[in-house]
Structure 1
Amino acid sequence: METTVDEPVTPAGRLFLQPQFNQIINCAIGFKHPLNIEAIKTDISNCLLVKHPRFCSLLVLDDHGREFWRRTKINIDDHIIIHHKNPGYDYELDEEKEEKINSLLADFAVSCPLSKDKPLWEVHLISELNCVILRIHHSLGDGISLMSMFLASCKRLDDHGNDSGVNHKNRENRGEKTLIFSIRLLKIIWWTILSVIGFCLRCLWVKDKKTAISGGDGVELWPRMAATAKFCLEDMKTVKRVVHNATINDVLFGIISSGFSKYLDIRSSHALQEGLEITGLAMVNLREQPGLQEMSKLMEDDSPAKWGNQFGMILLPIYCHTKDTNPLNYVKRAKEMIDKKKQSLEAHFSYHIGNLAMSLFGPKVASIINHRILCNTTFTISNMVGPQEELTFAGNPITYIRATSSSLPHAITMHMVSYAGMANMQILVAKEIIPDPRFLAKCFEDALLEMKNVAINVITF
C-alpha cells in the first residue's frame, strides 16, 4: 500500500501564513468573449495547476504547531466559484467593468481569507465582466512560479508552435578579463556593504518622512481601493532608447518618481520638499534564469529554477522633484540608483537572513522584522515581464492580466504585469489615506506620456 509523507512548509511559506503577513495573490484575467463555464472547468481539471503537489495538499499542523503539506484528493467544484450575473445592472462600458473588477480585487485584499479545509487556491468566474480571478496563497509559490504555471496551461492565439510566450534572456558572456572582474568584485563588495547597512537600519529605526501617502502599523487592516495605470510598452521602449543603457525597470521607476512628485505636489497640505526621498520595497527574482520559467524545470527537484518563493527584497529610494523641467531626468536618476543596486547582493542577503531568522527564532519573530521594514518604508513595487504574444485559455483570447495581493502596512502597493504589448500596473491603496487612486494612476500615465514626447523630440532632432 502506497503511503504519502507530509512535506514541511518552506521558511518563506511559513512567513506568508503568519496572521500579520497572511498573503494571497489575486490575479484578474480578462477575456475577449463571454465565459464558457464548462470549458473553463474542463481545462482547469486537465491543466498543470491541479497536478502540482502544492495545489493538491492541505495545510496541516503537527503537535508542535509546525506547518506541513499533506496530499489530498482534489474536488474541482470546491475551488471554482461562479459569480452569477447581477440582475439589477449591466456593465456596458469598459470603464464600468474595470471599476467593478478593481472593486472586487480591493475587497479580496482585506476581507476574504482562503479556507484551510481545502488546498489554498480558488478560481472565481465572473461572466458579466468576462473575467476570471485567480486567488492563490503566497505560501504555494511566488509570482514567477504561479504565472509560469498558468501560462503553461495557455495556448498562443496564432497557434504557432507549443511555446506559450515565455520570454528568456540571454546569459551574460562570462569571458571577462581578470582586471575587469576584480573591479566588478570590489564594486559588488562595496555596494553590498552599503545596502546591507541600510537594510539593517530600516529593520531598527530609520523610516521615511511622513507624507500624504504614508502608511504604518495597522494600515494593512484598513479598507482598500484599487485602480489600474496602463502603459504602452512601445512608449516605454521609446523612452528607454534615449537614455544610455536604460532598461524598462529604469523607465518604470522614473515614471513612479515623476508620478509621485505630481501627486504629492497637488495633494500635500504644504509645499513639497524638493528632493524628498520616498523608499519603496521591491521584490527580486533570485533564480538563475531571469523572467518566466519553463514548468518542466520548475518541477525538477535539482533544477536551479526552483518552484516556490525564490525572491529577495531590496530598498529602492526615489526622489520627488517639482522644479525639474526635463522628465527624462527622472529616468536618469532612477537608472543611477538601480545600477548601484544591481551591483549589490542585497536581495540575496534579505532572502538568506529571512530564512535564518525563521530557523533560529521562528515565524513570529521573522514576521515582526518584515513588518517593521514595511512600516518604515512607503510603498511596495513588483514588475513581472509576461508574454508578448496573445494567449488563449479554454479557447477564449486573453485581453489582459492584472495582479495584486493582500494588504500590507503600506498605504500603496503596485504590481505591474506586461502582456501583449501593454503593461498594467495594479495600484492598491488604503482609501482613508489615498481616496483617489484613479487620479494617482493618471499621474503615472501622464508621466510616461511626457517622457515619450520629449524622447521623440530627442530622436527626431
Structure 2
Amino acid sequence: MNQVINCAVAVEFPIDVEAFKAEVRSSILIQHPRFCSLMVTDSCGREHWRKTQVDVDRHVIARHQPLSDDIHISDDDAVNDFIADLSVSSPLPTDKPLWEIHLLVAHKTVLFRVHHALGDGISLMSMLLSCCRRVDDPSQLPTIGGVGVASSSPRRRAWSVWTLVKVVWYSLIYILEFSLRVLCLRDKTTAISGGDGVELWPRRLASARFRVDDMKIVKRAVANATINDVLFGVISCGLSRYLDIKSPKALPEGLRITGVAMVNLRPQAGLQDIWKLINSKSGSRWGNKFGMLLLPVYYHSGGSDPLQFVRRAKTMIDKKKLSLEAPFSYKVGDLVMSLFGPKLASILNYRIVCNTTFTISNVVGPREEILMAGNPVKNIRTTSSSLPHALTMHMVSYAGVADLQILVAKDIIPDPKVLATVSKMPCLK
C-alpha cells in the first residue's frame, strides 16, 4: 500500500546540521539491516531486500528556508502543511533505502519519513528513543510508563471459566464481522467517509493537544477506565459533534461509524529492547507485528452526556480485549502473505480500510523530557499517508502531553481544525 510514516520532532534550539548527520552515522539506525537495504524485484517478480551502502547525505536533507512565505503562520502549522503535501506528492525514492530525515532548520523540526515496510510504530519508536537520552540525566535512556526502553513487563491475565466463555463468544462475533468487512459489509456514507482512490486526494493536517493529567481526571470519573478508553470516548464525542455541524438532523441516532485500530502483538507490551527486536531469535521481533481491531463509534446528537461516550468506549474496548480478533487478523494476513504473496494481502487490507471510516492509533512515548543529538525535544507528532480513509488519527504522548495528529482529505473534510477543536472540547472541560 506504499504507506509512509511521518514523525515530526520539534526541538528547543537551532539544529546543527553537521552534528545531526554525525549522530545519524554513529546511530543504530545505520547498523540495522532493514535501513541499509533496497527493496528489489528478481526476474520472477519476487520482491526481496538487498544490502546496499547508505549515503547519509542522500538521506538527511537540510531545508534552511521557511516552508511558507506567510510570516504569520506558526511553526506547527507550517510543518503540518508540509507533511500534508508530502503525504500525497512525494513517495520515498526506491533507489535508496526507504527512509529520509528532513531537517527543517527554520522551524527547528526534524521530520522522519519511514516506509511502513521497515517497521510499525512500536519498532520505530523503540529505535528513535534508543538514540535519545533524558534531559535530567543524559547518561540514561528514556523510560515509558515507568519502564525503561530496554525492558518491559510481560502481560498477565487471570483466566476463569466464565472469562473463557466470553473469549470464545466475542471472538466468534468479531471474527465474523471482520470477515464480512473484507467481503462486503461497509459503513454508511457520511460527511467524513472516504473510499477507493481517496489516498490520492490532497490532504490537510491539524493537531489537537491534550494534557495526560486531564485525561487521567476523566479516567477516574469512569470506574476502571483506561487512557485508551478516554481517548476513544473523546474521539467518539468529537466525531458526533462534528457530524452535528456538517449534517445536522440528517443522521439517525445511533448510526455506526467504524474505525480501524492497530494492536501490538509482541509478547511484551510497550517499547522494546532494540537489540532484541533486531535479533530474530528473540520472542519479540522487528518489523510489523500488529493485528487489526474494528472499533465502532455510534453517532449521538449534541445533547448527550460526554462521559457517556467514555463509558460506551470502555464497554466496547473491554469486549475487544477479550476477543481474538487482533491475533486472527494478523494470522490470516500472514497466511495469505505466505501462500499468495503481498499483492493479495494488500488488496484485503485495502478493502478493510475502504469499508470503514477512519484509522486510529496510539503510541505511548517517554514520560520525561529527552534530548535528540543533544537538543531538548519539545514535542513528538506522527501520522501516516496513503490510506483511502478521509480521516486518520495518530496520537503520541510525550512528557505529560499527548498530541493527536488529524490527517484528512481536504475535499471531504475541509476544516480539520474545527474537528480538532470539537474533539478537545467534550470530556476535558
Instruction: Tell me if 1:337 matches 2:316.
Output: yes
Contact 2:265 2:291 in 1 (8 A): yes
- What does 1:249-398 align with in structure 2 at a 5 Å threshold? 249-268=228-247, 270-322=249-301, 324-398=303-377
User: SS where residue 308 of structure 1 aligns?
Assistant: coil
Instruction: Tell me if 1:155 matches 2:128.
Output: no
CA 1:104–1:87: 2 relative to 1, 3 Å:
closer
CA 1:61–1:420: 2 relative to 1, 3 Å:
same
User: SS where residue 143 of structure 2 aligns?
Assistant: coil
2 CA distance for matches of 1:372 and 1:89? 40
2 CA distance for matches of 1:364 and 1:266? 40
Instruction: Tell me if 1:130 matches 2:108.
Output: yes
2 CA distance for matches of 1:123 and 1:27? 10
User: SS where residue 449 of structure 1 aligns?
Assistant: coil
1:455 aligned residue: none
Amino acid at match of 2:269: P
Contact 1:142 1:308 in 2 (8 A): yes
1:107 positional shift = 1.0
1:170 positional shift = 4.3
Contact 1:83 1:125 in 2 (8 A): yes
- What does 1:43-54 align with in structure 2 at a 5 Å threshold? 43-54=23-34
Q: Which shows bigger deviation, 182-191 or 423-432?
A: 182-191
Contact 1:235 1:448 in 2 (8 A): no
2 CA distance for matches of 1:150 and 1:87? 25
2 CA distance for matches of 1:50 and 1:432? 39
Amino acid at match of 2:118: L
1 CA distance for matches of 2:68 and 2:287? 42
Amino acid at match of 2:207: T
Q: Which shows bigger deviation, 145-154 or 441-450?
A: 441-450
2 CA distance for matches of 1:87 and 1:435? 21
Instruction: Tell me if 1:447 matches 2:420.
Output: no
1:79 is aligned, of 49, 53, 59, to: 59
Q: Which shows bigger deviation, 119-128 or 61-70?
A: 61-70
1:99 aligned residue: 77
1 CA distance for matches of 2:213 and 2:368? 14
1 CA distance for matches of 2:311 and 2:415? 29
What do the CA deviations read for 1:244-276 (whole angstroms, capped 9, x no partner)? 110011001100110001100011165332112
2 CA distance for matches of 1:87 and 1:78? 20
Instruction: Tell me if 1:36 matches 2:16.
Output: yes
Instruction: Tell me if 1:63 matches 2:35.
Output: no
Amino acid at match of 2:88: V
CA 1:234–1:385: 2 relative to 1, 3 Å:
same
1 CA distance for matches of 2:155 and 2:125? 25
Amino acid at match of 2:27: C
2 CA distance for matches of 1:325 and 1:90? 40
Contact 1:24 1:137 in 2 (8 A): yes
User: SS where residue 425 of structure 2 aligns?
Assistant: helix
Contact 1:26 1:108 in 2 (8 A): no
CA 1:339–1:356: 2 relative to 1, 3 Å:
same
2 CA distance for matches of 1:397 and 1:49? 20
Contact 2:103 2:111 in 1 (8 A): yes
2 CA distance for matches of 1:166 and 1:69? 32
1:364 positional shift = 2.1
User: SS where residue 279 of structure 1 aligns?
Assistant: strand
2:123 is aligned, of 130, 137, 145, to: 145
1:453 aligned residue: none
1:211 positional shift = 0.5
Contact 1:110 1:222 in 2 (8 A): yes
1:77 positional shift = 0.4
Taking structure 2 as the reference length, the TM-score comes to 0.95
1:25 aligned residue: 5
1 CA distance for matches of 2:55 and 2:334? 34
1:378 positional shift = 0.2
1 CA distance for matches of 2:302 and 2:362? 28
2 CA distance for matches of 1:269 and 1:83? 44
Q: Give RMSD over aligned pairs.
A: 1.6
What do the CA deviations read for 1:50-85 (whole angstroms, capped 9, x no partner)? 111111111111111111111112111010111121
2:221 aligned residue: 242
What do the CA deviations read for 1:83-136 (whole angstroms, capped 9, x no partner)? 121498475x6x621111111110111111111111111000011110010011
Taking structure 1 as the reference length, the TM-score comes to 0.89
Contact 1:166 1:293 in 2 (8 A): no
What do the CA deviations read for 1:360-411 (whole angstroms, capped 9, x no partner)? 2222222221111111100000000110110011111000111111131110
What do the CA deviations read for 1:19-47 (whole angstroms, capped 9, x no partner)? xx111111100001111111111111111
2 CA distance for matches of 1:197 and 1:399? 44
Instruction: Give unpaired runs (5+ residues) of structure 1.
Output: 1-20, 451-461
CA 1:87–1:214: 2 relative to 1, 3 Å:
closer
1:226 aligned residue: 205
State percent identity of aligned pairs.
56
What do the CA deviations read for 1:330-382 (whole angstroms, capped 9, x no partner)? 10000000000000011111111111112222222222211111111000000
User: SS where residue 435 of structure 1 aligns?
Assistant: coil
Amino acid at match of 1:60: V
